[in-house]
Amino acid sequence: MESLKRILIVEDNENDLELTLDTLTEYNLANNVDVARDGEEALDYLFKKNKFSARDGNNPIVILLDIKLPKINGLEVLKTIRNTDGYKKIPVVILTSSREEKDLNEGYTLGVNAYVVKPVEFNSFADAIKSLGIFWAIVNEPPPKTIS
């Protein structure tokens, strides 16, 4: 079912989230989006814990992950995903303001699928979100399903 193809956006910044969702809405992708506000929520969502314990459905087809997050930062979330059976194959895209080499290196070392710097210029930002959404939600074939 189409509704099962979910995108998880992990973003603490309301403004960025709004702009992101605006863009996805424009391309009819917003209905498939779930949002986590920090690293902890993101992991809860994935592992169906606490407020997400009732969530049904499979793993998201892609996670758009910010790095600077409250509680648990994006890189730590990524590390946990990559070290957990049943989750390690979920495509993860880091979507962040930082162009710091340190972050880039660590992201790729941990096995991120793509690293996208949020452009300041709005149109570019919108283009980036649009391409990511279309690519990961429509074009890309997700990894074979695993028992969670």
Partner 1 sequence: MWNKIKLSLDYKVLFWFLLAFITILVLGYEIIKANDENLSEYSFRQKSFTNIISILNLEHYLEDAEAAQLGYLITGNVEFLKEYDLAIKDAYSILNEIKNNFSGKGNNNYIIYIDSLMKVKISNMNIFIKNRTEPNHEKNLLLIASDSNMMLMKNIKNILNKMNELENNRLKLHTDAAAYTANYTKTILPAGLAFALLFITLGYLLIRRDMIARQKAEEELDKIFKLSPDLICVIDSAGKFVRANPAWEKTLGYPVNELISRPYVELVHPDDVERSREVSKDIRKGKTGYLFENRFRTKKGNYRWLQWSTTANVETGLGYSIAKDITNVKEKEIELRKLNEQLIKSFEETERIFSLSLDMLSIVGIDGFFKKLNPAWEKNLGYTIDELMSKPYLEFVHPDDIEHTTQAANKLAAGEDVFIENRYLAKNGKYRWLQWTAASIPEIGLIYATAKDITNIKEKEIEVKKLNERLLNSYAETERIFMLSANLMSITNMEGEFVKLNPAWENLLGYSIEELLSIKYIDLVHPDDVESSKNASRIVRKGNDISSFENRFRTKNGSYKWLRWYATIVRDEGLVYATASDVTDSKEKEHELTTLNERLYESYKEMESFSYSVSHDLRAPLRHIIGFSQKLKKLAYGDISEESKKSLDKIVASAEHMSKLIDDLLHFSRVGRSDLKMIAIDMNRFIVAVKQDLEISEERNIEWQISNLPEVNADPVYLSLAINNLLSNAVKYTSKNQQTVIQVTCKEEEFEFIFCIKDNGVGFDSKYTDKLFGVFQRLHPSYEFEGTGIGLAIASKVFQKHGGRIWAESEIGKGAAFYFSLPKI
Interface with partner 1 (CB under 8 A): 13, 15-16, 19, 22, 67-68, 96-102, 118-123, 125
d(CA 94, CA 113): 8
Q: Alpha-carbon Rg of the chain, whole angstroms? A: 14
Q: Which residues pair with 33 in a beta bridge?
A: 7
Residue in 58, 61, 7, 15 with CA at minimum distance from that of residue 34: 7
Q: Minimum distance between the CB of residue 145 and partner 1, rounded to whole angstroms?
A: 35
Q: Minimum distance between the CB of residue 87 and partner 1, rounded to whole angstroms?
A: 26
13 vs 113, which CB is nearer to partner 1?
13
55 vs 99, which CB is nearer to partner 1?
99
22 vs 49, which CB is nearer to partner 1?
22
22 vs 58, which CB is nearer to partner 1?
22
Q: Minimum distance between the CB of residue 51 and partner 1, rounded to whole angstroms?
A: 26
Tokens found for residue 126 = 């919108």
> How many CB atoms lie under 10 A from the CB of residue 123?
8
d(CA 46, CA 92): 12
Q: Minimum distance between the CB of residue 85 and partner 1, rounded to whole angstroms?
A: 32
d(CA 121, CA 48): 36
